Amino acid sequence: MAIEESTLPVRQRGWLRNVATSYGDIAVGGLVYILLTPFVIHHLGLEAYAIWVVSHTITFYLGLFDLGFSQAHVRFHARHAARRRLALMRRLAATVFLALACAGAVAMLLALGLVLMPIEHWFQVSAGMQADFRLVVLVLGVNLLFALPGSTLENIYEGEQRFDIRNLRSIVLRVLTVALQVGLLVNGYGIVALALVELAVTLLRIAIDLVVTARLVPGLLRTRLRFDRATWRRIRPFALWAFVDDLLVEGTAHIDKLLVALLLPLALLTPYALCVAVAGLLMLAAQPMTETFFPMASAFHARGRRADMVRLLLSGTKISLVVSAPLLILLLFHGEGLMLIWVPELEGYLPPGLLQLILLNFYLSVGFWTATLILMAANRIRFVALLTITELLLALVLILLLVPWLGLNGLALGALVANALIGMFWLLPTACRHCGTSMAAFAASAVGRPLLISIPVLAVVGTLQLVFTGGDWALLTGSSVLIGLLYVPGLLLFGLDGWERASLYAWLRRLRHPGSPRLSEAGKT
C-alpha cells in the first residue's frame, strides 16, 4: 500500500530540517545552561541565584499578558498559509502586533508597580540584595515592553513552519548572550548586568526578525499598522481561551517556584529550580518534534483531514515518549549524583527523591503534549482551559496539604498526582474521541510500544545499580552504554509500526538522494 502524500503535512526534508535545527538549538541552550549555572552560583551565591529565578518567574507571569494572541496568531497564520492568503496574513500580523504592544506596555507598568512595593519582604531577601532585586525586576519589565510585540515576528516563523530559520537565529543569540554574561561576571558585575544583557539581546533579535520575516511574508513591512476588527473578532475567542490555558498551564509550571519562596526558606528554591531544569530535559528531548505539531494539526483541521489527525495523535505521542524515555531512565538512577557533581553547593540542600518525583511528572506531561496541541488546533481550547483550571486547583489543595509534612517532596508529589489524574481520565479520552480513535488503540500504539521497550531497560539498569553501589563515573558510563545497547534495537524492532518504519526509510532515501521522488511515490508498506 502506498503512503499517500496527503498524509504528510510538509515536505520531509523541510520537517527534518526543522527538527534537526531545533535539536541543535536545544543542545546549545542545554550546554549554555549546564556551563553557566554553576558559574553564576559560584560567583553570586545561592541567594543571588534564587533572586534571579524569582525575578524571572515574576516577569514570566507578567508576560502572560499577551492574552493568548501569540498562540492565536500561530494557528490562524498556519491556516492562512495553507491557502496562501497573503493579505489576511499581513492583516493578522498587524492586528496581533498592536494588541501585543498594548500588552507589553501594561506588563512594564505592572513591573514598575511591583518595584515600588515591598516585594523584597515577601520573599525574605537579605538587605544586601534588595536593591538588586528591585532593579532586576524593573529591567526585565522593560524587556517585556519590547519582547511581547516582538513575538509577533517569531509567531510568523512557526505559522510558516520555518522553525529552522528561527532556530539558527536563536543559536547565534544564545552564544552571544552567554559570552556577554560570562564577561560581565568575570569582571565583577552582578545580576543587574545580566538582566541588561537580556534586554539588549531582545532588541537585536527583533531587528533580525524584521529582516527575515519580511522575506517570508512579502509586503509585511509595508503593511499598515491598523487594528482590524474583523480579524479581531475571528481570533478573539481562541485567544481568550488560549490565554486562560497559558495562565493555568504555564502558571502551574512556575507557581511552584513562588510557593517554595513563600512557604519555605528562600535558599531551597535553588535546588528545586535546578531539579525542575534537569527534569525539563525530558520536554526538551521531545520539543523539536512536538512544536511542529500545532501548526501541522491546525492545517489538518482547516482541510478536514481527520485520518491525519488520528495518525498525528498516535505517532506524535509515541515519538515523544520514545525519544525522552532513555533520558528518563538515566536520570532516575543517576540524576541526583550528576546534580551534586554539577553544582557542589547543593550538598545538604537536595532532598532524596525530589528529582525522581519531578521527572515522573514531566514524563507524564510529555505523553499528554500531543493530545493537548491537537485539541487546541481543533478549537477545543475552552475544554483544555477548563481542565487546566481543575488541575491547578487540585494541585494547590494537594500541595498545601503535603508541604507541611514532606517539604519540597510534598510540593512535587501534589503536582504529579494532579497531572496524572486530569491527563489520564479526561484529556486523553477526549482527544481520542475527537480524532475518532479509541483509548485501547491509543494505549496499544502510543503508550504500549514505548513501555514494551522501556521496561526491560529499566529493569536491567536498576539491577546494575543495586549490584554495583556507588555513584562513580564507571557505573554511569556502564548504565548509559546499556541503555543504548538495549533501547535502540528494541525501538527498531518493536517501537515502530509499518507506516512509521516506511516513513523512516523514505526519509533516509530522501537524504541520500535529494532528487528522488516524494514519499508518496517511494514509500511502500
Beta strands per DSSP E along 264-346: none
Average pLDDT estimate for 85-113 = 89
* Total Cβ atoms within 10 A of residue 457: 21
Query: Is residue 521 one of the residues assigned to a domain?
Result: no
Calculate the CA dihedral of residues 413, 29, 144, 218 and round it to 10 degrees: -130
Average pLDDT estimate for 240-258 = 66
Handedness of CA 61, 67, 69, 74 (dihedral sign): positive
pLDDT-derived band at 13, boundaries 50, 70, 90:
low
The answer on 215 and 342 residing in a single domain is no
Query: Is residue 525 one of the residues assigned to a domain?
Result: no
pLDDT-derived band at 525, boundaries 50, 70, 90:
very low
> Given phi > 0 = left and psi -120 to 50 = alpha, else beta, which region is 143?
alpha
The answer on 277 and 231 residing in a single domain is no
Q: Is 230 exposed, middle or buried (0-12, 13-18, 19+ CB in 10 A)?
A: exposed
* Total Cβ atoms within 10 A of residue 498: 10
Query: Is residue 524 one of the residues assigned to a domain?
Result: no
The answer on 246 and 311 residing in a single domain is no
The pLDDT value recorded for residue 471 is 55
Checking if the pLDDT of 383 tops 70, the result is yes
> The C-alpha cell of 5 is what?
502524500
Look up residue 29 and give its amino acid: G
The pLDDT value recorded for residue 504 is 53
> The C-alpha cell of 458 is what?
529499566
170 or 223, greater pLDDT: 170
Residues 293, 308 contacting (CB under 8 angstroms): no
Query: Is residue 522 one of the residues assigned to a domain?
Result: no
Q: Mean of the per-residue pLDDT values for the chain? A: 80
Q: Is the pTM of this model over 0.85?
A: no
The answer on 210 and 114 residing in a single domain is yes
pLDDT per residue as tens digits for the range 208-217: 999 998 888 8
The range of the structural domain enclosing residue 33 comes to 1-257
In total, how many domains does the chain have?
A: 2
Query: Is residue 278 one of the residues assigned to a domain?
Result: yes
Tell me which residue of 56, 104, 107 sits closest to 203, measured CA to CA: 104
For residues 276-298, one letter each, b for 16 or more C-beta atoms within 10 angstroms of the residue's C-beta and e for the rest, the string is bbbbbbbbbbbbbbbbbbbbbbb
Q: Half-sphere exposure of 245 toward its Cβ, with a 13 Å CA cutoff? A: 24
Q: Return the minimum-mean-pLDDT range out of 82-86, 278-282, 504-508.
A: 504-508
Residues 494, 452 contacting (CB under 8 angstroms): yes
C-alpha Rg value of the chain to the nearest Å: 23
* Total Cβ atoms within 10 A of residue 214: 15
Average pLDDT estimate for 183-204 = 92
The answer on 230 and 299 residing in a single domain is no
Checking if the pLDDT of 515 tops 60, the result is no
The answer on 242 and 269 residing in a single domain is no
Checking if the pLDDT of 335 tops 90, the result is no
The pLDDT value recorded for residue 516 is 35
290 or 474, greater pLDDT: 290
The answer on 375 and 229 residing in a single domain is no
Q: Half-sphere exposure of 43 toward its Cβ, with a 13 Å CA cutoff? A: 17
Checking if the pLDDT of 520 tops 70, the result is no
pLDDT-derived band at 83, boundaries 50, 70, 90:
confident
User: At which of 221, 238, 257 does a domain end?
Assistant: 257
Of 13-27, 146-160, 360-374, 445-459, the range with the highest mean pLDDT is: 360-374
Query: Is residue 484 one of the residues assigned to a domain?
Result: yes
358 or 13, greater pLDDT: 358
The answer on 340 and 212 residing in a single domain is no
Residues 266, 57 contacting (CB under 8 angstroms): no
Residues 324, 282 contacting (CB under 8 angstroms): yes
User: At which of 235, 257, 279 does a domain end?
Assistant: 257
Q: Scanning the structure block, which residue is given the C-alpha cell 528531548?
A: 285
* Total Cβ atoms within 10 A of residue 247: 19
User: At which of 237, 257, 277 does a domain end?
Assistant: 257
Checking if the pLDDT of 238 tops 70, the result is yes
The answer on 273 and 253 residing in a single domain is no
SS3 2: strand
Checking if the pLDDT of 511 tops 70, the result is no
The answer on 386 and 331 residing in a single domain is yes
In angstroms, rounded to a whole number, what is the distance separating the alpha carbons of residues 297 and 309? 7
Distances (CA, A) of 22 to 1, 282, 293, 319: 32, 14, 13, 15
SS3 398: helix
Q: How many helices (H) and strands (E) does the chain have?
A: 21, 0
Residues present in the chain in total? 525
Please, which residues have CB within 8 angstroms of residue 27's CB and are 6 or more apart in sequence?
none
Residues 370, 321 contacting (CB under 8 angstroms): no
In angstroms, rounded to a whole number, what is the distance separating the alpha carbons of residues 427 and 366? 13
SS3 524: strand
> Given phi > 0 = left and psi -120 to 50 = alpha, else beta, which region is 352?
beta
Distances (CA, A) of 335 to 210, 338, 362, 476, 481: 41, 5, 14, 10, 16
The pLDDT value recorded for residue 523 is 29
The answer on 270 and 198 residing in a single domain is no
Checking if the pLDDT of 157 tops 90, the result is no
pLDDT-derived band at 381, boundaries 50, 70, 90:
confident
In angstroms, rounded to a whole number, what is the distance separating the alpha carbons of residues 374 and 295? 9
The pLDDT value recorded for residue 8 is 42
In angstroms, rounded to a whole number, what is the distance separating the alpha carbons of residues 471 and 60? 36
Checking if the pLDDT of 41 tops 90, the result is no
pLDDT per residue as tens digits for the range 384-440: 878 888 888 898 899 889 988 888 899 899 989 999 999 999 999 999 998 888 899
Query: Is residue 102 one of the residues assigned to a domain?
Result: yes
The pLDDT value recorded for residue 6 is 40
Average pLDDT estimate for 476-500 = 70
The answer on 95 and 1 residing in a single domain is yes
Of 168-172, 248-252, 298-302, the range with the highest mean pLDDT is: 168-172
Residues 352, 50 contacting (CB under 8 angstroms): no
Query: Is residue 229 one of the residues assigned to a domain?
Result: yes
